[in-house]
Structure 1
Amino acid sequence: ITVIDLSAKVASWCSEYYANVKDARDDIERLQRETQGLKATLERVQSLCDGPNGVKLQKSQSLREAVKDCTKQLDQLETKLEPRTTNKLMSRYGMRALRWPLKSKEVDGIMKKLGNCKDNISFSLQVDQELQILDIHQKIVLDKLRSANNAEFDSHDEEHNARCYQGTRVELLRQIDTWASNRGSERIFWLNGMAGTGKSTISRTVAQTFADKGDLGASFFFKRGEGDRGHAGMFITTIATQLIQKLPSLAPHVQNAIEADPGISKKALKQQFDTLVLQPLVKIQTHPQKSSSIVIVIDALDECDREEDVRTIIRLFSQVKQITSIQIKFFLTSRPELPIRLGFEDISGKYEGLALHQIPEPIIKEDISAFLEHQLAMIREDYNKSVAQNRQLPAYWPGHTTIQSLVGMAIPLFIFATTVCRFINDRKCGQPKDQLAKVLKYETRSQASKLDATYLPVLDQLLVGVTISERRDLVEEFRQVIGSIIILASPLSATSLDRLLGVPEGTVDSRTDLLHSVLSVPSRPDHPIRLLHLSFRDFLVDTEKRETNPFWVDEKDAHNNIGYIT
C-alpha cells in the first residue's frame, strides 16, 4: 500500500529532525510516535489484505475511505516536513541547517487528524470482521437448505447432454427470448411435446443462453429414477439456494425465515415457496439497473413423481406477479400429460404455451436434416482417421438420399436422430456403414411406430446369430438386468447391480456392452448406469408392445423381482 510508504517517509523525516533540531524535540517525538503507530495499523491492514479474506477486505467501502483520508493527511504532512533549506546551505552546514517547520498548535491538529485516521481504520476493520462473522453465521443457516444433487442445467450429470445444434430451432429460441425480454408478457412459458421431441435439449440451450446473458436465476431438471431429481422434496429449496447466489440481497430474508422456522425445508410445498422464495423476493429492494427478467428454467416437470405436486408447483408459479422488485419468469417443459394439462387449466390466462407438434413440419425436417448431416459427417471423419485408407468411407457418405430417408423416419422425434447417430458410431456393434444399413431396414416400420424404429435396431442386434434356446436365455437375462436398470428409483453401478441381482461379476457389463446408444454406461464399474432418455423405458414397458417386442419388460414383475431380491 502506498500509504505505508508515506507513513515511513514521515517517520523518517521526524527522526532526522529529532537528531538535528533541538528546540522542538517534544513535538517531533509526539508526531513520530503517532506516525509509527499509524504505520503499524496500516501494516496490519496490508497483512489482512494479503490473507485469505483479502479480496473481501479490499472491497470494504468504509476501509477504502479511511485509507484514502489517511493518504491525504500523510501526503500533506510529508510536504510540510520536506526541508525547504537551500541546497547551498545544506551542503555547507549539513543537517544542522534544518528548521522544524511546525508550531505546537499545528502539531496538535495533525496529531488529532492522524489519530482519527488510525481510529477509523481500526473501526472499519472491526466492522468488517463482525460482518464476516455474520456472513459465516448466515452461511451456516443457509446450509440448512437441502439441495438436490446435479439438478442444475450445468451440473456434471448434464455436462455431456445435447444442446441445440447451431442453426436449428432458430425461430423457437427467438420466440422464447422475446417472451423473456418482454415485460408485458406472462410470467410462465410452457413448452410441451411428446417423448423424444427435444424438450430437454431446448431447455439446456435456453438455460445456457440466459446464463450467458446473466439472466438465469435458477434451473431444475427433473429426471425420474435419479434420486432427488425424481420428486419435489428438494425442488423449492434447490431453487431458493440458486436464487440466493444470483440475488445475494435475498440471503438475509431467507436466513430470517429459516431461523423463524428451522424445519421449513420439510414443510408443504406452498409453505416452502411462500417462505423461501415468494416473500424474500417481495421484500428485496427494486433493481432499476436490472431491466431484463430473471428466468427460472424447469425441465421435464412430468418426471416429478407425485401428480399433486406437479399441479401445486404450477399454481405456485402463477403467484409471482406479486413480485414488483424484479421480474421473475418461469420457463417449463413437459409432456402434455393430464395432471400437467389440468394444472395449466387451473391458471388459464396466466401463461404462454407452445406445443412442439404445432411447429410446422418443414421446419422440424430442416432442423433434423441439419443435425444428421453434421453428426454423420463427424462420424465419417472420426472413422476414417482410425482405419486404413482402403477401409475408409467415401467423402459423400452417407449421401443426401440416405439422410432424407433418416429424416423421414425421424420426424418429429429428435431422439430418433440422436439415438441412431450413437448406434451408427458404436464401434462395438460394427462399422458405420453396416450400422446404418441395419437402421434403414426399419424404414417402413417407422411409419407405424417411431419408437420401434428408434430402439429396435439397437435391440435386435443382440439376437443376431443366436439359437432359439440361447435367445430365450438372453431375453430373460435382458429383462432381469435392463428391467432392473429402468425401474430403479436411483441408478446403480454395474458392480452394485451384479451384487443386487445375485449374478456373476461382469454380467451387467456384458449385457450392456452393446447398449451404449441407449444407456449411459461409464467406463468405471463403480459409477452408475443411466438411461439416456426416458422414452427407452417407455418403449420397453409399453403394454401394447407385449406381443410384438421380444424385449418387452413387465414393469410389475421387474419391481417384484427387485423387491424379492432386496
Structure 2
Amino acid sequence: MRFSRLWKRSPKTKAKSHEESDPQTPPIAPNLFQSNQPRPPDSSTPTPSQSPPEVPQGSQAQSVFAHANNFHLEHFHYNQPDDQRQGSSGWEQLLKATSTSALHNSRARFDPPKCDEDTRVELIREISTWIEDRDSPTQLLCMTGAAGSGKSALQQTVAEGCASKGILAASFFFNTGDTTRNNISRIIPTLAYQLGQKNRTLRRMIGVAVEDDGLIFDQSLMTQIERLILRPIARLAPSESASLPYAILIDGLDECTEERDQRELLRTIHDSFLNHRSTFRIFLASRPELAIFEALESGGHLHGITYPIRLSDDYDATSDIRLTVRRNFVEIGLRRRWEHAWFTEEDVEAIVAAASGQYIYAATAIRYISEPRRSPVERLRAIRSSQSGTHDGTNPFGPLDAVYALVLTAAKEGYEAIDNRHDFL
C-alpha cells in the first residue's frame, strides 16, 4: 500500500533519524489520516460504562451511513422512492411535447366556431346527457358529419359546457394547417398535461414517469397512455381518482393528415380506455373518412361498442341555420344603427335553402356580408345573384362554390386597392 509506511509506528527514538534520512519528504499534517474515532482506552484506565447515543426519530431514513467516516464513494447512485420524487424535470419535458394550440381554450384558437344560442339545443342536450351518464357501459361517442356540418362548433360548445361544470378532463382539436396538431405525436402528452393540471399528485407521478424514460414520447400511443395516464391514475388514492374530471373531447380526427395515424389512435382508444374499463367518457368527432368508417362499420373494432351520431343523416340543421342567419342579419343592422329592416324573410330563406343543411355555407355567407368596410346590402344582393343557376343538381356544392368565388374576388379587389405609400410608409 502506498501509504503503509506512514501508518507504521516507529519507536520514538527513531523518529528524528527518520526525518533526517529523508529530508525531501514533506511533513505530514497531523490530522490528515487521523481517525475521528476515539482512541481505545488504556488497559490500565478503568472504562466508564456508556449507553449508545439516542437516535432521533426518522434519522435512520436519512442517515445512509450512520457514524461512518474516513471513506470515499465513487459512482454512487441514490434511487429515491417515487413517492418522494417531485418529477419537476419530467414535467418540464412533458410541457415541451404538448400542443398548446390544441386546447379548447387556446389563444391560437381565439374566437373558435361554436353553436349560436338556441341552436342545436336538443343535440347538445343529448351529447351532454351521454357524457354525464357514468353508469352507461358505452364509453365512446363518435360523431360523424360532412365538412361544414358543425362538428367543431358542437365540440367547442360541449367542451365549454363541460369545463364550466368541472368535468372536462382534456381536449384535443386537430388541425391540418398546424404541425403540432395535424398528427398524433403530441396528443397523449397534451392529454396527460391537462389531467396533471387537475391533480397535484397525478402531476408529480406523470413527471416521474417521464423522468424514468426519456424516450417515452417516441414510443407507441399505447405505451404512452399506459405510462403517462393509466398507471399514474391507478396509483392515486381512491378518493383522488374518483374526484378527477372524466370527459375527454377529440375533434377533427380527419384533420390528422396520415390515415395510419388515424387508425393507430382509434385502435389505441379501444385497447386502452375501452378495454381497461376506465372512468373516462370520450367524445370524438370526424368526417366519415376511411379509417373511422371501417372502425365503426360491421366487423370494425369499434362496431357495437360506441354511441354513434351521424349529423348528415339523422339531424336536420335547417331550422337552426334559419335562426343563425336571421340573428346575424339583425345584429348587422344594430351595428350599423339602422332603424329600418335592411333584409327580408325571402333573403333569409334563400340562404337557408342554399345551405342544404350544412352550416359552412351559411357561415361563409354571413362573414362575407358582415364585412364592416363594405355595404351589407350590396353584398347580400351579390349573394342572391350568385345563387342563380347553382341548383341544377349537377354540382351539389354549386352554391358553396359560388359564395367562395365572391369571397376570393373581394379579397383580390381589396389587395389591388391597397395604396402602398399610405398604408405601409
Match of 2:359 among 409, 414, 417: 414
Q: Which runs of 5+ in 1 are unaligned?
A: 1-118, 121-133, 385-391, 465-473, 479-506, 514-523, 526-566
The answer to whether residue 233 in structure 2 is matched with residue 281 in structure 1 is: yes
Letter in 2 for 1:201: A
Paired residues of 1:409 and 1:450 also in contact (CA < 8 A): no
Tell me, in whole angstroms, the C-alpha distance in 2 between the residues paired with 1:206 and 1:245.
Answer: 20
Maintained 8 Å contact 1:373/1:403: yes
- Provide the rounded CA distance (Å) in 2 between the counterparts of 1:294 and 1:264: 24
Q: 331, 337, 340: which is aligned to 1:395?
A: 340
1:174 equivalent among 101, 125, 134: 125
Per the alignment, residue 220 of structure 1 pairs with 172
Cα shift at 1:154: 0.6
Residue 357 of structure 1 and its aligned partner are, at CA, apart by: 1.3
Superposed displacement of residue 327, structure 1: 1.6
1:459 aligns with 2:399: no
Q: Which amino acid aligns with 1:148?
A: S
Structure 2 CA distance, aligned partners of 1:176 and 1:413? 20
Q: What amino acid does structure 2 have at the position aligned with 1:351?
A: T
Q: Using a 3 Å threshold, how does the CA distance of structure 1 residues 291 and 413 change in structure 2: closer, same or farther?
A: same
Please name the residue that 1:150 is paired with.
101
**Change in CA separation of 1:444 and 1:279 when aligned onto 2, cut-off 3 Å:** farther
Aligned pair in 2 of structure 1 residues 291, 252: CA closer, same or farther (>3 Å)?
Answer: closer
How far apart, in 1, do the equivalents of 2:362 and 2:84 lie?
A: 50
d(CA) in 1 for partners of 2:181, 2:315: 33
- 1:9-158 matches, within 5 Å, as 137-145=86-94, 146-158=97-109
Alignment gaps of 5+ in structure 2: 1-55, 58-82
Deviations 1:86-109 (A, max 9, x none): xxxxxxxxxxxxxxxxxxxxxxxx
Q: Does the alignment pair 1:355 with 2:310? A: yes
**Structure 1: distance between partners of 2:142 and 2:353:** 27
CA distance in structure 2 between the partners assigned to 1:211 and 1:512 by the alignment: 45
TM-score, normalised to structure 2, is 0.71
Aligned to 1:418, the other structure's residue is in SS state: helix
2:282 counterpart of 1:333: no
Q: Is the 8 A contact 1:198 1:415 kept in 2?
A: yes
Are 2:150 and 1:187 equivalent residues in the alignment? no
**Structure 2 CA distance for aligned equivalents of residues 154 and 356 of structure 1:** 25
Aligned to 1:380: 333
In 2, Cα distance between equivalents of 1:265 and 1:367: 43
More helix by share: 1
1:462 deviation in Å?
5.8
SS at match of 2:207: helix
Report the alpha carbon displacement of residue 162 of structure 1 after superposing the two structures with TM: 2.3
Aligned residue for 2:238, secondary structure, equals coil
RMSD, matched Cα:
3.0
Report the Cα distance in structure 2 between the residues aligned to 1:163 and 1:135, rounded to whole angstroms. Answer: 44
Task: Report the Cα distance in structure 2 between the residues aligned to 1:359 and 1:397, rounded to whole angstroms.
Answer: 35
Residues 439-478 of structure 1 mapped to structure 2, 5 A cutoff: 439-447=383-391, 448=393, 449=395, 451-460=397-406
Identity of aligned residues (%): 27
The answer to whether the 8 Å contact 2:87/2:204 transfers is yes
Which amino acid in 2 is paired with 1:382? R
Counterparts of 1:191 and 1:235, CA distance in 2:
19
Residue 112 of structure 2: aligned partner? 161
Residue 511 and residue 206 in structure 1: after superposition, are their counterparts in 2 closer, same or farther (change >3 A)?
farther
Provide, for residues 21-45 of structure 1, a one-character-per-residue CA deviation record: whole Å limited to 9, x for no partner: xxxxxxxxxxxxxxxxxxxxxxxxx
Alignment-mate amino acid for residue 143 of structure 1: E
1:142·1:255 contact (CA, 8 Å) conserved in 2?
Answer: yes
Alpha-carbon distance in structure 2 between the residues aligned to 1:360 and 1:150 = 30
| 1:309 counterpart SS class | helix
Q: Deviations over 1:181-205 (max 9, x none)?
A: 1123211111110000010000100
User: Cα distance, 1:443 vs. partner?
Assistant: 2.8
CA spacing shift, 1:313–1:416, aligned 2, 3 Å:
same
Report if aligned partners of 1:439, 1:453 keep a CA contact under 8 Å in 2.
no
Structure 1 counterpart SS, 2:303 = coil
- What is the CA distance between 1:219 and its match in structure 2? 0.7
TM-score, L = length of structure 1: 0.54
Q: How many residues align?
A: 331
Aligned 8 A contact 1:168 1:367 in 2:
yes
1:264 CA displacement: 0.3
Q: How does 1:313-332 map to 2 (within 5 A)?
A: 313-318=265-270, 319-321=272-274, 327-332=279-284
TM-superposed deviation, 1:334: 0.5
Conservation of the 8 A alpha-carbon contact between 1:311 and 1:342 = no
Q: What residue in structure 1 maps to residue 45 of structure 2?
A: none
Q: What is aligned with 2:378?
A: 434
Alignment of 1:228-307 (within 5 A): 228-287=180-239, 290=242, 294-307=246-259
Deviation, structure 1 residue 289: 9.0
Q: CA deviation at 1:269?
A: 1.9
